[in-house]
Amino acid sequence: MLDILGRNNIAAVHGPLHRHMRGAMLGLVGPVARRQSLLPKIDAFMRSHTSGWAGSVVDVQAKTKEMALLSTLRQIAGITAGPLSDALKAELYTLVLGTISLPINLPGTSYYQGFQARKKLVSILEQMITERRSSGDAHDDMLDVLLRSGDDGTRDKISDEQIIDLLIALIYSGYETMSTTSMMAVKYLSEHPLALEELRREHLDIRKGKSPDEAINYDDFKSMAFTPAVIFETLRLATVVNGLLRKTTKDVEMNGHVIPKGWRIYVYTREINYDPFMYPDLMTFNPWRWLEKNMELHPHFMLFGGGGRMCPGKEVGTVEITTFLHYFVTRYRWEEEGKNTILKFPRVEAPNGCISEFKITELLQQTFCRV
């Protein structure tokens, strides 16, 4: 992962460099950026991405993957669907597979191909940075913020190499997590009509006070209770991140055993998600369980990790999935075509391209516009 995601990759660096990179990342996706710049962009993107599906059979796996990539590329550098996003997509697929392979550097292995994909991604991003510098034009996107960071003296300058690794980390971290969770939420909702009904009610209520073109805003997100519950329950049952990596900085005693300083620890959070003591009737998709005791605040809530390395994209990722669901459930009714097999380990996916296809049958938009 270190080879393919880069030596400055936020998940691999420590101490002051980690604080520097994390500070830069939070500047891009933190509360101020979300309110002022990201929410309107995400809304506009999801509104257009999920339009025109009525009367067709939609491959939800492909659509959510495309959604996660294109939405992020738009935020990063204003890139819309076209040859550049296609080139980036092809490299990203190979890069993702490379990061979860054995590091055998021989032509033909996933690791080798992932490393080659990194080289191509770096070269595309370098070219974009050069073009930005030579044109000098201002842009309303993350790359612009990064290129100008440090200019006003409020924070350290960030090098080009660090910018590239930060952007790759941003694309990589949000890609599978957001797309898979969105796809699985649709799948679980299809199988649980009561949950779908409650979710749809929450979103139709939000639309009631709005004109058809009006975006959902920060206050709308704050008012939602059932939607985060659906997302957490989906993340619990279809675990995208199986565990967290840590390293002991001193000897640690645990239940009478000593874990020596310098050992690597893998916290297998997947096991927690399937713990029957914490989640009674654990295999049932039950979003209501999250409403009961404010479970998000419990110490065992680790869907987004914990401590100083907790996922900096938790809020923006949740906002993207929520906005996707908002337009999907308020616009369409659907039924699943055939029986789609989903693998849940080691990665959550619909195998053999035999993807979850959903026959979109009815457009609800007119209904809620008249309400």
Alpha helices of 274-360 — where are they, by DSSP H?
Answer: 289-292, 314-331
Per the listing, tokens 């991405």 go with 49
Provide the β-strand partners of residue 245.
Answer: 266
Q: Quick one: 305 or 360, whose CB is closer to ligand HEM? A: 305
The tokens describing 116, both together, are 């080659």
Closest approach, Cβ 245 to ligand HEM, in A, equals 7
Dist. CA 74–CA 77, nearest whole Å: 6
Closest approach, Cβ 313 to ligand HEM, in A, equals 2
Q: Quick one: 103 or 306, whose CB is closer to ligand HEM? A: 306
Provide the β-strand partners of residue 349.
Answer: 343
Q: Quick one: 14 or 257, whose CB is closer to ligand HEM? A: 14
Closest approach, Cβ 172 to ligand HEM, in A, equals 8
Q: Nearest Cα to 146, choosing from 134, 132, 135?
A: 132
Closest approach, Cβ 232 to ligand HEM, in A, equals 10
Closest approach, Cβ 188 to ligand HEM, in A, equals 14
Q: How far is CA 222 from the centre of its chain?
A: 19
Closest approach, Cβ 66 to ligand HEM, in A, equals 15
Alpha helices of the chain — where are they, by DSSP H?
Answer: 2-5, 15-29, 31-33, 39-49, 60-77, 83-99, 110-135, 142-148, 160-191, 193-208, 218-223, 226-237, 269-273, 289-292, 314-331, 365-370
Q: Quick one: 29 or 73, whose CB is closer to ligand HEM? A: 29
Closest approach, Cβ 181 to ligand HEM, in A, equals 5
Residues 6+ apart with CB under 8 A from 316: 29, 34, 38, 42, 174
302: Cα within 13 Å, side-chain hemisphere: 22
- Identify whether the C-beta of residue 7 lies closer than 8 Å to the C-beta of residue 165: yes
Cis peptide before 351 (omega within 30 of 0): no
Q: Quick one: 98 or 174, whose CB is closer to ligand HEM? A: 174
Q: Quick one: 324 or 368, whose CB is closer to ligand HEM? A: 324
Closest approach, Cβ 25 to ligand HEM, in A, equals 6
Buried b vs exposed e over 134-165: b needs ≥16 C-beta within 10 Å?
A: eeeeeeebbbbbbbebeeeeeeeebeeebbbb
Q: How far is CA 320 from the centre of its chain?
A: 8
Q: Which stretches of the chain bind ligand HEM, using CB under 6 A?
A: 10-11, 22, 25, 29, 169-170, 173-174, 177-178, 181, 235, 240-241, 244, 303-306, 309-313, 316-317
Q: Quick one: 27 or 150, whose CB is closer to ligand HEM? A: 27
Would the annotation count 311 as a binding residue? yes
Q: What does R_g of the chain's alpha carbons equal in angstroms?
A: 21
Using CA atoms of 51, 52, 55, 57 in order, give the dihedral in degrees to the nearest 10: -70
Q: Quick one: 170 or 360, whose CB is closer to ligand HEM? A: 170
Annotated binding site: 311
Annotated binding site for heme: 311
